[in-house]
Amino acid sequence: MKDSPGAMELAGAVMKIHTHQRPPILRSTFKGLLLLSVILISISYLSVYKDHLSDYLQSNTSLKQTNPIYRAPLPLEHPNRSFLQHHLAFPRNYHFILDDTDVCRSNTPFLVLVVPVAPSNRKARDAIRKTWGTETLVQGELIQTVFLLGLPSRGNITEQQEHVSMENLQYHDLIQSDFIDSYNNLTIKTMVIMDWLATQCPKVSYAMKIDSDMFLNVENLVSMLKSPGIPKELYLTGMLMWNRPVIRDRSSKWYVPKEMYPDPHYPTYTLGMGYLFSIDLTSTFVEVSKSIEPFNIEDAYIGMCMKKLGLSPTQPPHPDQFRAYLGKYNRCTFSKIITYILGSPQQLVTFWTDLKKPGPPC
């Protein structure tokens, strides 16, 4: 588009002042005008920016204190060592405190189920050990379950840590890493899971990240994985989330600030309650995570890893088998689904016992 005549004239005048000899009085007037306009522009810019800035500083303060990932905003591309040391989601920054399980060491399972769980949540672990954790041989395939914990974050830490160690002496199914276990650190936890699988279980076929409050129908899961057409590589499936908006409401548990994740939407991802992947993806996720700025929504972060790899999650053969919530317990429905979010560890034991009783469920 052509400049307006006014602008052309002004430009011409400025050119003249610059290119021709000027009397000193005109030169200092020009300098004064220039200075004045710079000041005016700065003031107007600042006043527009000020509200935003003070709002920004105030509102982000509490977050800075509580959200460790937020505390260190990182450049997007920075794949060198000093970057890695500061990259909070990069799992090799953490060390295992407990890791003496036999899983993947004395055997090669078909499927490994990894349950991220808080150190204090013994009840959830015990419920799983009594229910879907017992399903170790399904349709001739070996299935193993391990729990992944961070460090206790609150209360009597020493005592909790002793309990965790004793529990592991009994079951040898706890893997504990040295990051502090908190809701904000779930992305770290997921990436530690990926790293553990990549290094300890490279020969298994599939793995699943499944939350500790889940009902899991292992039989149906294995049937699905063995059904024709299920990829053996670059495969991620679960309950697919499309075009989900990023939550900008500060009071929300899922709040993510713009400077952590600027896009208004997440890429397609699988809901964190339970997603399955072929084992080749684990080392790929660890590798690609070096170049993805971390944010505290672990399932969407895995979605970002997939996107960066040029991949996307696959819809399961029967999408309605991956349920988040069902209405009431119904034995017939539970016999057909794969996942469902429960209200308590007791519910898991109750529903499981009922589902497994003799007699056709439908």
Ligand X SMILES: *[C@@H]1O[C@H](CO)[C@@H](O)[C@H](O)[C@H]1NC(C)=O
Q: How far is the CB of 113 from ligand X (least distance, A)?
A: 24
Contact string (CB under 6 A) for ligand X, positions 168-197, x = contact: -----------xx-x-xx--x---------
Residue numbers 239-298 binding ligand X by CB under 6 A: 250, 257-259
Of the candidate residues 21, 158, 251, 252, the single one contacting ligand X (CB under 6 A): 158
Q: How far is the CB of 336 from ligand X (least distance, A)?
A: 39
Is the Cβ–Cβ distance between 180 and 151 less than 8 Å? yes
| Cβ nearer to ligand X, comparing 189 with 323 | 189
Of the candidate residues 37, 44, 54, 66, the single one contacting ligand X (CB under 6 A): 66
SS3 category, 67:
coil
Q: Is residue 361 at the binding interface for ligand X, with CB under 6 A as the rule?
A: no
Q: How far apart are CA 103 and CA 86, in angstroms?
A: 31
Q: Is residue 82 at the binding interface for ligand X, with CB under 6 A as the rule?
A: yes
Beta bridge partners, 210, equal 274
Structure tokens at 207: 């793995």
Q: Is residue 317 at the binding interface for ligand X, with CB under 6 A as the rule?
A: no
Is the Cβ–Cβ distance between 218 and 135 less than 8 Å? yes
Exposed (0-12), middle (13-18) or buried (19+): which is 191, by Cβ within 10 Å? Answer: buried
Q: Could you tell me which stretch among 54-62, 118-126, 135-143, 165-173 binds ligand X (CB under 6 A)?
A: 54-62
SS3 category, 99:
strand
| Cβ nearer to ligand X, comparing 164 with 188 | 188
Beta bridge partners, 207, equal 112, 277
| Cβ nearer to ligand X, comparing 190 with 339 | 190
Encode burial over 44-54: b for 16+ CB neighbours within 10 A, e otherwise. eeeeeeeeeee
Q: Is residue 65 at the binding interface for ligand X, with CB under 6 A as the rule?
A: no
Structure tokens at 180: 């502090």
86: Cα within 13 Å, side-chain hemisphere = 14
What residue number has its CB nearest to ligand X?
159
The beta-carbon contacts of 118-122 under 8 Å, at least 24 apart in sequence, are 118/149, 118/150, 118/181, 118/212, 119/149, 119/150, 119/151, 119/152, 119/160, 119/161, 119/164, 119/176, 119/181, 120/152, 120/155, 120/160, 121/212, 122/163, 122/167
| Cβ nearer to ligand X, comparing 8 with 166 | 166
Of the candidate residues 30, 74, 83, 329, the single one contacting ligand X (CB under 6 A): 83
Contact string (CB under 6 A) for ligand X, positions 116-155, x = contact: -------------------------------------x--
Exposed (0-12), middle (13-18) or buried (19+): which is 312, by Cβ within 10 Å? Answer: middle
| Cβ nearer to ligand X, comparing 180 with 288 | 180
Q: Could you tell me which stretch among 4-12, 78-86, 220-228, 290-298 binds ligand X (CB under 6 A)?
A: 78-86
Q: Is residue 70 at the binding interface for ligand X, with CB under 6 A as the rule?
A: no
Residue written as token pair 């997007």: 76
Residue-wise DSSP of 257-293: -TTT--SSBPPSEE-TTEEEEETHHHHHHHHHGGGS-
Q: Could you tell me which stretch among 61-69, 283-291, 298-306, 340-348 binds ligand X (CB under 6 A)?
A: 61-69
Structure tokens at 292: 């993805």
Of the candidate residues 19, 47, 80, 251, the single one contacting ligand X (CB under 6 A): 80
| Cβ nearer to ligand X, comparing 180 with 349 | 180
Is the Cβ–Cβ distance between 223 and 314 less than 8 Å? no
How many residues interact with ligand X (rule CB under 6 A)?
Answer: 24
Q: How far is the CB of 164 from ligand X (least distance, A)?
A: 12
Q: Is residue 96 at the binding interface for ligand X, with CB under 6 A as the rule?
A: no
Q: What does the binding site for ligand X look like in residue numbers (CB under 6 A)?
A: 56, 59-60, 63, 66, 68, 80, 82-83, 88, 153, 156, 158-159, 179-180, 182, 184-185, 188, 250, 257-259
